[in-house]
Structures are given as C-alpha cells and as structure tokens.
Amino acid sequence: MSARYPAARPRRLRRTPALRRLVAETRLRPEELILPMFVKEGIEEPNPVESMPGVVQHTRDSMRKAAQEAAEAGVGGLMVFGIPEFKDDRGAAADDPGGIVQRALRDLSADLGDDMVIMADLCLCEYTAHGHCGVLTPTHEVDNDATLERYASVATAQAAAGAQVVGPSGMQDGQVGAIRAALDRAGYTDVVILAYAAKYASAFYGPFREAAEGAPRFGDRTGYQQDPANAREALREVELDLAEGADMVMVKPGLAYLDIIARIADRVDVPVSAYQVSGEYAMIEAAARNGWIDRERAIMESLLGFRRAGAAQILTYWATEAARLLR
C-alpha cells in the first residue's frame, strides 16, 4: 500500500450512494437472471406452492402471462419444469410431443421468439411414478446407461418443441455426450446444453419437491448426486461435461457452494451458472415474514454473492422481482 491511516481512508469511497455505485466491483443485471417455472397438466387455475410463497404451479395460460411479465422486466431466460397428469416407471410424458412441457415450450416460443432464452430442465424425476431421475433396474437402482437413452429422446423432443437450451440435471455419467449426439443427429446442432455439472445431494431441495412433485418414493439420490463434502469431484464432473460437449455449466445449490462456484469459474472458459434453489428462497421468505430480515436487501445481497463468486447467470425464483428492482 502506498499510504496508511490517516492519509488512507477507505471510507471516503463509501460516503454516498453515488460514490458506492461508482466504485462497485460487482454488478448485477436483469439479463443475467433466469426464472425457473413450473407448469402442471390438468389444473384450471395456478396452484400456490405452500413452502415457496409467491411461487405457483402454472397452467399453460398463467405461464404465458408470467413469462411475458418476466420478459418486460428484462429477465434473460426461463427454465421450464413440467408436471404431467399421469406418471409411469419410464417417464413417458417427458418426451411425448403432446406432453405438458412440450406444449408449454411451443407456447413460449410462439409468444417470445428470440426475446428471451427458453430453457427446459431435462430429467425424469417429475415424470416417473417412483420419483427417481432415470429408469430403474430390478433392484431399484437407477440404470445409468438405459437412462441415457431416455435423456436423448427427451432432449430431441424438447428441441423440437422450441427449447433453445436443455438442462440435463439427472447427474448420470455420460449424459451430456448422449444428449449432444442425439441433438446433432436430429439436426439440432444449435441447441445449447447447460449441464447441471455440479449438482449436490442437498437438503436445500425440500420445497422444490412440493413444487415439481418429484420426490423419490423410496431411497434418495445420494447414489448419483454429489456428496456435499467434495470439491475436487465437482471440478472433475465439470471437466467431463465440457469434454462431452457442454456449452455452459451449473452449480446447484448456490448458497452453501459459493466456493465451488468460485473454483469452477476460475478454471473454465465457459459461462458458469448458479441455481438459487427452493430452500434458499424459502428461508429468506420465511425469515422476512417473521420480521427477522429486510426481505429486499436479503434477496439482492444473496444474488450479488453469486455474482461475486463468479456466476455469470443465476437461476432464481425472484428473477422477475429482482429485475424490476434493478431497473
């Protein structure tokens, strides 16, 4: 340092809001936010998610309205999750051209065109009767290689319906390579793969399981999602996904894994996304409702934390609200 106190006074640069804005090291923009949305088949009105105040399971019409509001606020993208009326052991609704996600993707593509990036979560947990992320063996383990065949089919169905980005989230070995090959064979060479590369077996997913109705009917997902104790493993998963053709990578959850976001962002030259998951959302909403924290400040501070750690995009259920606040 060239000077010390009293000549050096760092507080000078914090004195007014204008000075703080001028020298801010990290900036958050609406177009960096991605809004996760749930669309449910067989309902006539939006269905509130009790554990996530302000979040609903949409009808097709209410999703279109919410998507338009997000676009007007400047949100950069939408990530669509589907909840079919009927489920089976293979998750047949996931790649059905008439399935709820494919219909919703066609709606959004028609409404928004290229004004927003339309993304589809690519997994089977919302579609299978057992709630696991793939096809099961006779001993009720997820069959990795059989599941890849299903993921490949789902990817092409989502691309055909208008998804510009597919987000494989099942944490199966080789999933990115299988999906890239299937998309390319079908002529969808421009469809982007946002790999859920470092997805941890986390307690913070609890409310999501109500929203997406995809909780396992038995066991858990620790056999294929990552151990929260491991960091180097996340780097290996990212390297493998990039080698298989991933265009972007994601860390999920975000709040408890800021170190993972930072390590990956320092290591790769593709965009790194962070998912501010349902439990993170629910904690802030619950604390704010009890008057324990300033809700808006906590939302924006948490989002800045992801950006500061190195996330180029943030999936957050507050995307539309945060975008409005930023504008």
Annotated binding site for Mg(2+): 237
Which residues have a Cβ under 8 Å from the Cβ of 136 and sit 6 or more positions away?
89, 130, 142, 143
Is 252 annotated as catalytic?
yes
- From the list 40, 65, 87, 252, the catalytic residue is 252
Closest CA to 188 of 156, 150, 153: 156
Partners of residue 235 on adjacent β-strands? none
DSSP codes joined into one string, 175-239: HHHHHHHHHHHTT-TT-EEEEEEEEB--GGGHHHHHHHT---SSS-STTTSBPTT-SHHHHHHHH
Known binding-site residues for 5-aminolevulinate equal 209, 221, 278, 317
HEC assignment per residue over 126-175: CCECCCCCCCECCCCCECHHHHHHHHHHHHHHHHHHCCCEEEECCCCCCH
As annotated, the binding site includes 123, 125, 133, 209, 221, 237, 278, 317
Which region holds residue 96: left if phi is over 0, alpha if psi is between -120 and 50, else beta? beta
Tell me how crowded residue 290 is: count the other CB atoms within 10 A of its CB.
8
Which one is catalytic: 40, 65, 87, 199? Answer: 199
Identify whether 199 is a catalytic site residue. yes
Residue 209, CB-side half-sphere exposure with 13 Å CA sphere: 14
Give the residue from 174, 186, 118 showing the smallest Cα distance to 148: 174
Indicate which residues carry an active-site annotation: 199, 252
